[in-house]
Amino acid sequence: MIDALAIAPGAVHLKHYLSDKEQRIVAAECLELGARDAGFYTPIVRGGHPMSVRMLCLGRHWNARTYSYEETRSDIDGLPAPVLPEHLEGLARSAANEAGFTFAPDTCIVNWYRAASRMGLHQDKDESPQSIAEGAPVLSLSIGDTARFLFGGLRRRAPVQKILLESGDAFVFGGAARLRYHGVTRIEPGTAPPGLGFEGRLNLTFRKY
């Protein structure tokens, strides 16, 4: 049985959603795609600072300098963004359904966290106005080391909930929760299940542009 925790209206934490086998399959798929042309890279944000995660964008590329989506990696190497594999799209669709959402994602950002990686508190608001207005969810799958995840409110200074995202967990926020601030303060090294074939944490976030 799936352990679904209601975090806020529109936000659901699905504990241990992916089996160990599914985690290994998804991790292998991401590592394989990430090692090809148009694979993992270090995004450089406005102001010229590198992000602490490595990133792989599937379906559409997210440009870290302009905070917008595009067909090609114009801030990296000009290559087209790789296609979002059907298998991953299907996993995200099913997980969102478990949380009560109908979801047809067309883009996935894979963030590869190392021990020192972080993700500052932010809102996801670079998707199309229609997608945001509809409250189309953001669905994340975590694989590897545990993350200390913060889930806040609609204002940056609103109180935050501290949530541990463990390997295999899914986290969904849409509807009234779609624009809530969120971020990752820390990765707990050495907490991943054995046999995943990589170090750190992979977080796949699916969105409908």
Ligand X SMILES: O=C(O)CCC(=O)C(=O)O
Contacts to ligand X by CB under 6 A = 109, 111, 119, 124, 140, 147, 149, 165, 182, 184, 203, 205
Give the residue carrying structure tokens 């303060």.
185
Rg (CA), the chain: 16
Looking at the Cβ atoms of 38 and 109, the one nearer to ligand X is 109
Six token digits for residue 32:
């394989």
DSSP 54-93: EEEEESSEEETTTTEEESB-TTTT-PBPPP--HHHHHHHH
The angle formed by the CA atoms of residues 13, 14 and 20, to the nearest 5 degrees, is 135
Looking at the Cβ atoms of 76 and 139, the one nearer to ligand X is 139
What is the nearest approach in angstroms of ligand X to the Cβ of residue 203? 3
- Beta bridge partners, 108, equal 58, 206
Distance CA 12, CA 78 (A): 36
What is the nearest approach in angstroms of ligand X to the Cβ of residue 110? 9
How many of the other CB atoms lie within 10 Å of CB of 122? 12
What is the nearest approach in angstroms of ligand X to the Cβ of residue 166? 11
What is the nearest approach in angstroms of ligand X to the Cβ of residue 21? 22
Looking at the Cβ atoms of 76 and 110, the one nearer to ligand X is 110
Looking at the Cβ atoms of 22 and 126, the one nearer to ligand X is 126
- Chain residue whose CB lies nearest ligand X: 203
What is the nearest approach in angstroms of ligand X to the Cβ of residue 134? 18
Looking at the Cβ atoms of 18 and 109, the one nearer to ligand X is 109
